[in-house]
Amino acid sequence: MEAEASSAPRCAILAFPGARAPDRSRTVSADGIRIAVHEWGPIDATPILLVHGAMDFARTFDVFAPLLADAGYRVVSYDQRGHGDSEHADLYSWVADERDLLAVADSVTREPLIAIGHSKGGSLLVHAIQALPHRFTRFVAIDGLPFRNPHADSAVRDKKSMTAPIITHWLDTRRQSPGLARKPGTLEELARRRARMNPRLAHAWLCYLAALGARQDADGWRWKLDPVIGSSGFGPMRARWMTDRLPGFPIPMLAIFGTQREPMGWDATAADLAPYFPPSTQVQVMADTGHFIHIEQPQETAQHILPFLRS
């Protein structure tokens, strides 16, 4: 292991080709939780709400967001509660995440706006748009649509998630949360840990990610992510909350899919979801990409999205 560590590429300065820091940063209070918000592009331009996935943060869009901003949009992203520079919470739930999303949207405009979501961010947006279609105009899901077989397999999984051992573990984790801390290390070590979940992403990008998503303590660097997140998930959520209502999805949607499975991701394919899409849905499958499509192929992803937004 020591030999592997010493031969691995070293994390260099805080830079990555094409990455650009936000033009503005601010905070929003969502039910008393401080949410960090970052923006690229002119403040008076047409806004886009950009929502990251689980265990990520807004600055993971540092390459992708500027491409949309340079095309004439005001791109607004935020760190979900417990992620990045947003405040940690006493409890996490799917509905709380959706309320945070809407609080950020309201801080930008009370008019309908464009929304783009990656992974969990896409699923949050599907659910929010289905509930409040008047708040949104167009939606892009970047591998952001969950799918579970709606028959016996799903029923068994849902039943297991409500068993006493699972609930007890979740409550015990919450009880221990004040004393939990993420494992410290160097930026190189944090990048290598992240590579286990993101094996397709370049080491230089993972170093960039670690430098932004971690803080330096006396004993080393730690991810800013609340240590409770990951051990207890992001609260109750069922894929069927979204898929069962997709045939009547109320606004134009572009669904972008990768082709390579990864440890992180929904593992949902365009073929899985095709029976649920309304005829107006546009589908784009990008060859040789994993779950993090907008990081692997930012230019190509933007080139698919921009015509959809302008159509």
CATH code assigned at 267: 3.40.50.1820
**Cα separations in angstroms, 184 against 88, 181, 199, 250, 296:** 18, 9, 21, 45, 27
- What whole-number distance in Å separates Cα of residue 293 and Cα of residue 310? 21
The pTM of this model reads 0.90
For position 167, what pLDDT does the model report? 73
Q: How many domains does the chain have?
A: 1
For position 229, what pLDDT does the model report? 85
For position 152, what pLDDT does the model report? 38
For position 6, what pLDDT does the model report? 42
For position 161, what pLDDT does the model report? 57
Cβ burial 121-151 (10 Å sphere, 16+ → b, else e): bbbbbbbbbbeeeebbbbbbbbbbbbbbeee
The model's pLDDT over 185-234, given as tens digits with 9 standing for 90+, comes to 999 999 999 999 899 999 999 999 999 999 999 999 999 999 888 755 55
For position 1, what pLDDT does the model report? 32
For position 148, what pLDDT does the model report? 65
Alpha helices in 133-231 (DSSP H): 152-160, 164-176, 187-197, 203-213
| Positions in the chain short of pLDDT 70 | 1-10, 12-13, 148-162, 231-237
For position 115, what pLDDT does the model report? 98
User: What is the extent of the structural domain holding 306?
Assistant: 2-310
